[in-house]
Amino acid sequence: MEEKILPMKVYEDVDSWETIMFLYNSALKEISTKLEILNDEFQHVHQYNPIEHIKSRIKSPESIVKKLKKQGLESSITNMVKHVSDIAGIRIICSFTSDIYRIAEMLGKQSDIKILLIKDYMEQPKGNGYKSYHIIAAVPIFLSDGVVDTKVEIQIRTIAQDFWASLEHKIYYKFEGNSPAYISQELQECAKIVSRLDERMLSLNEAIHEVQLHGAESAAEQEYK
């Protein structure tokens, strides 16, 4: 899925670092509020919370400049807004792999969120074993003089995937992206273990639901008799 380019009119009046940071922080608040409401509604309807917890962050100026340089671009606010899609990032941690697609579907049904790009690393993991589900979305920020669409990167992953990714990230930066081969191999093996763990936990959860369902049916039958 290719990223759509938002009309540049959206950013015509964004001419300062303070303004752009205000917009990205506001976008994180908008997404966080939506997720909290969706999670509460799911609990109300299904007696179950698909979201364990939410993390958010704004990319540091140093990281933004580094990313632009890597793309061969000048460090400017225009380039930053147009070419860096993960300045505002929100990470959704859930219990089971089935929750990942459930949450993504709920977000996709929000009429005021524009889905610009989807990267499904669940179906196609990265070479190092990384698994997650990424969405680049545009969130409308309603200001006193108009609406500004602002990009947010949304990552959805399980607790086990988040544990692995956090450690891999620390190791990557410790070795500046050049970790010894045996460490990279061990990380890939750990990623396989994480995948098997997620599969078994999902299977266990489904078995528990099946037992509860049959128990409820048996209780209803006894009451009817």
pLDDT confidence band for 224 (50 / 70 / 90)? low
Q: What DSSP line would sit under 108-176, residue for residue?
A: HT-TTPEEEEEEETTTS--TT----EEEEEEEEEEETTEEEEEEEEEEEEEHHHHHHHHHHHHHHHHTT
Please list, in sequence order, all residues whose beta carbon lies within 8 angstroms of the beta carbon of residue 191, skipping any fewer than 6 positions away: 125, 128, 129, 130, 131, 164
Q: What phi and psi, each to the nearest 5 degrees, are found at residue 131?
A: -125, 140
Residue 2, pLDDT score: 45
Q: Quick one: average pLDDT of 28-45?
A: 94
Residue 219, pLDDT score: 54
Residue at 125 is within a domain:
yes
Residue at 13 is within a domain:
yes
Residue at 172 is within a domain:
no
Q: How far is the C-alpha of 78 from the C-alpha of 193, rounded, in Å?
A: 43
Q: Within 13 Å and on the Cβ side, how many CA atoms surround 88?
A: 22
Residue at 54 is within a domain:
yes
What are the pLDDT digits (tens) for 184-216?
899 999 999 999 999 999 999 999 988 887 775
Residue at 210 is within a domain:
no
27: containing domain: 8-159
Single-letter residue type at 112: D
How many domains does the chain fold into? 1
Residue at 90 is within a domain:
yes
Residue at 196 is within a domain:
no
CATH number at residue 74: 3.30.460.10
Residue 220, pLDDT score: 54
Residue 6, pLDDT score: 44
Residue at 19 is within a domain:
yes
pLDDT confidence band for 10 (50 / 70 / 90)? very low
More confident residue, 144 or 58: 58
